[in-house]
Structure 1
Amino acid sequence: MSHQDTELVNVSHLLRSRAELGTAFPRILGYFREDGVKSIHAIEEAFRTRNSAALVSPAHTLKGESAQFGAYRLSAMAEQIEMTARRCVETREGPDELIETVVALRPCFSETMAMLDRDASPLAVRRPATFGRRAETPVPGFGRAN
């Protein structure tokens, strides 16, 4: 299965995490952004130097933190990097097979953060839009002659 087939962000998981974190959500999201940038940089650098062992820790960190926010695609990509790097360490091989995933990691992180930032915005509308539809529970007698 291609990573593109994996859901970018699972909204129900994200909403559950948001509810659990409450007012700390924007702060924790900021930590995730900082850690994510560092992890991706470390992954790219380890890949450039063909250092399979150096891929494991930042990929593991990115996998767990992404999962916390329901960022399924990013988490799956990080997991593939981590598990492949572990195998490469055991077999003493270079991580060349990871090139497509490593190259796609930063754009996926950017797309994920854009979606998470929209949800974290205090200006974001958190209820379903009713534009063009009748309200589900109209107030009797309000706005129309009975």
Structure 2
Amino acid sequence: MAVEGNSLVDWAAFGQARSELGAGFVRILGYFREDGVKSVAAIEQAMRAKSAAAIVIPAHTLKGEARQFGAEPLALLAEQIEMTARDCVERHDTPEDALPHIVKLRPLFTQTLELLEREANPLVARKPQGGGFGRRVASY
């Protein structure tokens, strides 16, 4: 799942979440960080323990929280892990089929979180979106 930085986050969905959550946005993004770190660690630990059942809930949690912030590639990967684990539970099988996806999870989570937090940081200098007061719009 090679994904470019710009396609890791649906910025329209991110903006909608930001406006809907208002003043609580940064706090809730912090919860996403905390929960995501725990979910990724729990998924990796469950994989080491060969417990498909222990993968399902943290993958499901990560999927939903990622979607809330427009992190669709992360949500899709978590969903793939969740569905694979659910299938393994039904077959009374170990989760080896999920391993290739789980290996990709931590790097994708880290990269996505960095983008989300950078965009949410009020101290990050942003490019002006046009003229603005005292600025001339560049003509090309």
Number of aligned residue pairs: give it: 132
Matched residue SS, 2:86: helix
Q: 1:52 to 1:69 in 2, by over 3 A?
A: same
8 Å contact kept, 1:39–1:58: yes
**What is residue 35 of structure 2 aligned with on the other side?**
35
Verify the 8 A CA contact 1:50 1:95 in the aligned structure 2.
yes
The aligned residue for residue 92 of structure 2 is 92
Q: What corresponds to 1:4 in structure 2?
A: 2
Give the CA deviation at 1:4.
2.7
**1:97-134 C-alpha deviation (Å, 9 max, x unpaired):** 1112111111111100110011111123274266xx95
Q: CA offset at residue 95 of structure 1? A: 0.9
Q: Name the aligned partner's letter for residue 135 of structure 1.
A: V
Q: Say whether residues 1:72 and 2:72 are aligned partners.
A: yes
- Amino acid across the alignment from 1:18: R
Paired AA for residue 46 in structure 1: A
SS of 2:2's equivalent in the other structure is helix
The 3-state SS of whatever aligns with 1:4 is coil
Q: Give TM-score scaled by structure 1 length.
A: 0.83
Seen in structure 2, the aligned counterparts of structure 1 residues 129 and 49 have a Cα distance that, compared at 3 Å, is farther
In structure 2, the residue matched to 1:55 is: 55
Whose radius of gyration is greater, 1 or 2?
A: 1
- Give the deviation of 1:20 after TM superposition: 0.8
Residue 17 of structure 1 pairs with residue 17 of structure 2: yes
Q: In 2, Cα distance between the equivalents of 1:30 and 1:126?
A: 25
Task: Compute the displacement of 1:67 (Å).
Answer: 0.3
Aligned pair in 2 of structure 1 residues 103, 12: CA closer, same or farther (>3 Å)? same
Contact 1:4/1:73, CA 8 A, preserved across alignment: no
CA distance in 1, matches of 2:65, 2:127: 24
Deviation at 1:81, TM superposition (A): 0.7
2:121 match = 121
Identity, % of aligned pairs? 51
Cα 1:54–1:73 change in 2 (3 A) is same
- Quote the Cα distance in structure 1 between the aligned partners of 2:118 and 2:37: 18
Uncovered stretches (5+) of structure 1, i.e. residues with no partner: 137-146
Question: Contact between 2:130 and 2:137, CA under 8 Å: does it hold in 1?
Answer: no
Instruction: Provide structure 2 residue ranges, at least 5 long, that are not aligned to the other structure.
Output: none
